[in-house]
Chains A and B, each alone.
Chain A
Amino acid sequence: TIGTTLKPVSAGLKQGQITPTELCQKCLSMIKKTKFLNAYITVTEEEALKQAEESEKRYAKGQPLGDLDGIPVAIKDNFSTSAIETTCGSNMLKGYVPPYNATVVQKLFDQGALLMGKTNLDEFAMGSGSTDGVFGPVKNPWSYSKQYREKRKQKPHGENEDSDWLITGGSSGGSAAAVSAFTCFAALGSDTGGSTRNPAAQCGLVGVKPSYGLVSRHGLIPLVNSMDVPGILTRCVDDAAVVLGVLAGHDPKDSTTIQDPVKPFLLPSLTDVSKLCIGIPKEYLVPELSSEVQSLWTKAADLFESRGAKVIEVSLPHTSYSIVCYHVLCTSEVASNMARFDGLEYGHRCDIDVSTEAMYAATRREGFNDVVRGRILSGNFFLLKENYETYFIKAQKVRRLIANDFVNVFNSGVDVLLTPTTLSEAVPYLEFIKEDNRTRSAQDDIFTQAVNMAGLPAISVPMALSNQGLPIGLQFIGRAFCDQQLLTVAKWFEKQVQFPVIQLQGLMDDCSAIFENEKLASVSLKH
């Protein structure tokens, strides 16, 4: 057995216990077995096997490129990949094949990582469920876990299980499902308002949103340029640190990346937290918060306190304005960013050709879903000359206040903030779609989007399973560009809570038809 996290697998590759091709094939077979999760839009089997072959040659020579050489990864389908279709989960970009790699994709390739495929998402990353993409919703692997199934059996209404599957959260739900279902070791998501941390929490993964400016956005098809960051989804904090170490640093193609050189992300194993000050923002205790999440949040705070850390209640007074402000800024930038999709240079083009304007209109109506079109309309409204001061400028001012809230708290001596990531654990799809995308996004981004407005680093770490047997994650927020300190604290926490590994063997027994009677056990899923 080679384990499920990067370090032992990397060691296994170096020692020749497993070859990159074997590892790649194991993951490809997992992708096939879990196809019904709809985690991938495109599986790049050929590409992955070719990369594995190259990697194998390097290992044979004893010259691997780095810790990621031969490691299967997945990439959200809003990162440009050269010669590989990149759709953003939209009709608009179906069939669009970028001629270049996003900087983060190139950096993974330069390290020898194997690309397994492009993962599913909400259309143009607009959503919090991974349910609103043109390729259909993503199913949460935990829906089929032994842990969840066993709890369900105890309840009376467990008869209609197949239609009762859970959402992954979003918008990087495909990436989360891909990592959670062992089809790869790490995946790239994007995080604009919580799109990496939210599915990480709901799929029992570590989800990192780096500081704005630490990781290049070049090649990431934008949602909100001033808030987007590439996110990382892994099964443990150390893995996330390895990937972040590879991705971080100045990119001449992205003028918003930091100029200073970035040191490698090596995480010390903290033994003493007594010098730490953990802030608990009181505004994050909202009525909608589930009692289970609330009690785990309290437990986590107690844990720090019991080990000698200073835990204090802090105030981020402008928190309640944040989600509205986010909505104005987000839709405004969306309206602007989406203007380029006009059917001329690339992407979908309608058949109507009576005039350019008619062509634009029909192309955009056919290419975008209701969520995208709705945000474009809102954004253009906010940007109108007569509304600009009232909405956009005001939202920018509020954004500054929100960012200052964080600055003030950190200046008062707090090292890291501890908050919930989501209001509750993952909900069933049928439950989720009772509310529209906008309502859901406003609810689900409540604890996460303020961090994007302030450009801070944050990480969601799975803490425990709920009474239903579903993962619950908590969020740590750090000072700008103190990503390493943040991850170090998260690693200590991860070690204390010992979050259980997802047991997908249950899935095997119950869904044998889906798995064509193949034994999943051959792939080592245990520690």
Chain B
Amino acid sequence: MAAPMLRWGCAGRRWAFACVDGGSRHGLGARNDFTLSGMRGQSSLALQPLITAQKPRKGEHEWAAVVGLEIHAQISSNSKLFSGSQVHFAAPPNSLVSFFDASLPGTLPVLNRRCVEAAVMTGLALNCRINKKSLFDRKHYFYADLPAGYQITQQRLPIAVNGSLTYGVCLGKKRRQVITKMVRIKQIQLEQDSGKSLHDDLRSQTLIDLNRAGVGLLEVVMEPDMTCGEEAATAVRELQLILQALGTSQANMAEGQLRVDANVSVHHPGEPFGVRTEVKNLNSARFLAKAIDYEIQRQINELENGGEILNETRSFDSTLGCTVPMRDKEGKQDYRFMPEPNLPPLVLYDAASLPAGADSRQVINIDYIRERLPELPSVTREKLIEQYGMLPEHSFTLLNEAGLLEFFQNVIKETRAEPKVVTSWVLNIFLGYLKQQSLAVSESPITPSALAELLTLLDGKVISSSAAKQVFEELWKSKSKTAAQIVSEKKLELMQDLEALEQLCQAIMEGHPQVVMDLKKGNLKAINKLIGLVRKATLDRADPTVIKKILEEKLSS
């Protein structure tokens, strides 16, 4: 279908460009869009403590902020929610459009089973009650990328309700303390995605791409149980991990598969909630946290200066770092909800209600899905802590970075080094290198096997720890060489010849009688100078503990 064009009077709308400029303009890599950078100790606006909300100056009222989220996750499925069109990101415009997606008159929706199963899985993973019967509704508004003039959603009776999501927030100077928090899930509903409008301001035209029109979405509505940007961002990150573990959504924010709107208000503790604003256009975790914190601060300032908060929709301007009111036609709109007459109620079964002899292709059994749920991130983290004696914050970091856990597990499998050593190397050195060069785990020049070999050499005391770091740097630069090759080329093996080392120690002692004198006078720290000199002479290939031992023996004899 040719892209329909029309002239356009105004610009800007939710999601329209969520995935067009979010990644590139702000230099966010495609795959590490959701890094909570603070966990690695880098500074970030989002993670600065929210001073005003928590530390009132004397004589001032205390403020509390309330944050709720509405999250749209694109369902990972082969075809759309109500049509047989394929679902692909970045396909040529209007190449994935069925007659139904283009709302040709006479076409009818046919519910995609896979999308229903994805909703049930997500509902179960978020501890929801799954409604055995749910309904579809039409939500009406005129918009160029909504061809039918309405969106099919689940307003009255959604597929899942009353759940919860547990997430961990890191606290403390070194972010070592993990506090567990919980946000209630109000509901999960199935609905259609809209198409995309591309506004050409130069020619004052709008181009419509319907590839996304009709893709299945899970709308997850979180209760206002959060208090700041970081909590919201962390909760969203946890949801993202859960969706990815389930395979129900790729949940990539940069590609628009996960879109977040935040409801924000402030009030004095003990008083009713304040008037809330809705913040849209949040296309990365960093912006989500930033936008919410900005909005909280803005509301407090407004109220403290005698102003009032309007119930409005605001958009986050990522370049200015602030929220601005949207020229809002949607906000006050009456959506004229109506039952979708072309879809019968969606009926789900459990083991108890499953009719005898039911065709398994025709029915969905909640218990069957429950039994087959994959491991959730919280369980994975518990296992890491238990199995490897890992610190909780390390388990979070391992999961938060896409592909890092798998990398870690592959290294563990192939090395003789202690898990603690592996954890430390993967989280400090390996991840540090990746971050420095803005690479994703999948783009790492070092394979898990290579790192495993290196750590085995370290564990067997074939090389020193500092030599190991040197080898790591070489491995990073030249993919073709193994750790052992680098060690032998650069002669980095620890000296195994004790006699030679003893002779060397003897020679150093003889060459520095003043230092030996000091030592004998009782300045025990002077031994470090001798150790340093020996290490230098060995080109750092001797184990300092061995050197120390030899020196001590010689001094006492």
Residue numbers in B under 8 Å from A287 (CB-CB) = none
Contacts A254-B108, A256-B344, A333-B341; A384 near B334 (Cβ below 8 A): yes
- Interface status of A61 (Cβ within 8 A of chain B): no
- Interface status of A470 (Cβ within 8 A of chain B): no
Nearest residue (CB) in B for A217 is B108
A381 CB to nearest chain B CB (Å)? 9
- How many angstroms from the CA of A190 to the CA of B140 in the assembled complex? 26
Within 8 A of A (CB), among B1-25: 1, 4, 6-10
Q: Mark B96-110, 1 if CB is under 8 A from A, else 0.
A: 000100111111111
Given B1, B334, B338, which contacts A333 in the complex, CB threshold below 8 Å?
Answer: B338
- How many angstroms from the CA of A256 to the CA of B136 in the assembled complex? 14
Chain A interface residue number, banded:
35 or more
Chain B's interface: helix, strand, loop or mixed, by majority?
A: loop
Within 8 A of A (CB), among B137-176: 138, 140, 142, 144, 147-150
- How many angstroms from the CA of A255 to the CA of B4 in the assembled complex? 30
Contacts A344-B144, A383-B338; A255 near B7 (Cβ below 8 A): no
Q: Is the CB of A340 within 8 A of B7?
A: no
Residue numbers in B under 8 Å from A256 (CB-CB) = 341-342, 344
Given B106, B111, B147, B334, which contacts A385 in the complex, CB threshold below 8 Å?
Answer: B334
Residue numbers in B under 8 Å from A333 (CB-CB) = 338, 341
Residue numbers in A under 8 Å from B105 (CB-CB) = 80, 88, 93, 98, 221-222, 340-341
Given B4, B148, B338, which contacts A340 in the complex, CB threshold below 8 Å?
Answer: B148
Q: Is the CB of A255 within 8 A of B9?
A: no
Contacts A256-B344, A392-B338; A345 near B4 (Cβ below 8 A): yes
- Interface status of B336 (Cβ within 8 A of chain A): yes
Residue numbers in A under 8 Å from B134 (CB-CB) = none
- Interface status of B337 (Cβ within 8 A of chain A): yes
Q: Is the CB of B103 within 8 A of A98?
A: no
- How many angstroms from the CA of A88 to the CA of B104 in the assembled complex? 13
Contacts A344-B4, A344-B208, A345-B4; A100 near B109 (Cβ below 8 A): no
- Interface status of B206 (Cβ within 8 A of chain A): yes
Q: Mark A349-390, 1 if CB is under 8 A from B, else 0.
A: 000011111111000000000000000000010011100100
Residue numbers in B under 8 Å from A100 (CB-CB) = 99, 104
B144 CB to nearest chain A CB (Å)? 6
Nearest residue (CB) in A for B1 is A345
Residue numbers in A under 8 Å from B336 (CB-CB) = 335-336, 380, 383-385, 388
Residue numbers in A under 8 Å from B99 (CB-CB) = 99-100
Nearest residue (CB) in A for B99 is A100
Q: Is the CB of A255 within 8 A of B108?
A: yes
- Interface status of A321 (Cβ within 8 A of chain B): no
Contacts A98-B106, A255-B344, A345-B102; A336 near B338 (Cβ below 8 A): yes
Nearest residue (CB) in B for A385 is B334
Residue numbers in A under 8 Å from B10 (CB-CB) = 355
Q: Is the CB of B140 within 8 A of A339?
A: yes
- Interface status of B517 (Cβ within 8 A of chain A): no
Q: Mark A241-272, 1 if CB is under 8 A from B, else 0.
A: 00000000000111110010000000000000
B43 CB to nearest chain A CB (Å)? 44
B229 CB to nearest chain A CB (Å)? 33
Contacts A333-B341, A342-B149; A102 near B104 (Cβ below 8 A): no
- Interface status of A219 (Cβ within 8 A of chain B): yes
Residue numbers in B under 8 Å from A219 (CB-CB) = 106-107
Q: Mark A204-225, 1 if CB is under 8 A from B, else 0.
A: 0000000000000111111011
Q: Is the CB of B103 within 8 A of A355?
A: no
- Interface status of B182 (Cβ within 8 A of chain A): no
A217 CB to nearest chain B CB (Å)? 7
Nearest residue (CB) in A for B208 is A344
Given A252, A335, A345, A357, which contacts B147 in the complex, CB threshold below 8 Å?
Answer: A345
Residue numbers in A under 8 Å from B111 (CB-CB) = 255
Residue numbers in B under 8 Å from A225 (CB-CB) = 341-342
Residue numbers in B under 8 Å from A99 (CB-CB) = 99, 104
Residue numbers in A under 8 Å from B102 (CB-CB) = 345-346
Q: Is the CB of A356 within 8 A of B7?
A: yes
Q: Is the CB of B7 within 8 A of A353?
A: yes
Residue numbers in B under 8 Å from A222 (CB-CB) = 105-106
B150 CB to nearest chain A CB (Å)? 6
Q: Is the CB of B6 within 8 A of A356?
A: yes
A450 CB to nearest chain B CB (Å)? 18
Q: Is the CB of B108 within 8 A of A355?
A: no
Pick the most buried of B104, B138, B148: most chain A CB atoms within 10 A of its CB. B104
Q: Is the CB of B337 within 8 A of A339?
A: no
User: Given known contacts A355-B10, A357-B9, A359-B6, what 12 new A-B pairs fall within 8 Å (CB)?
Assistant: A79-B106, A218-B106, A218-B107, A225-B341, A255-B109, A255-B344, A335-B336, A336-B149, A341-B105, A345-B103, A346-B102, A392-B338
Binding site for A on B (CB under 8 A): 1, 4, 6-10, 99, 102-111, 138, 140, 142, 144, 147-150, 206, 208, 334, 336-338, 341-344, 362
* Top-3 shortest CB links A-B: A339-B149, A355-B9, A383-B336
- Pick 5 A–B contacts, CB within 8 A, sort by A: A255-B108, A256-B341, A342-B142, A344-B147, A345-B147
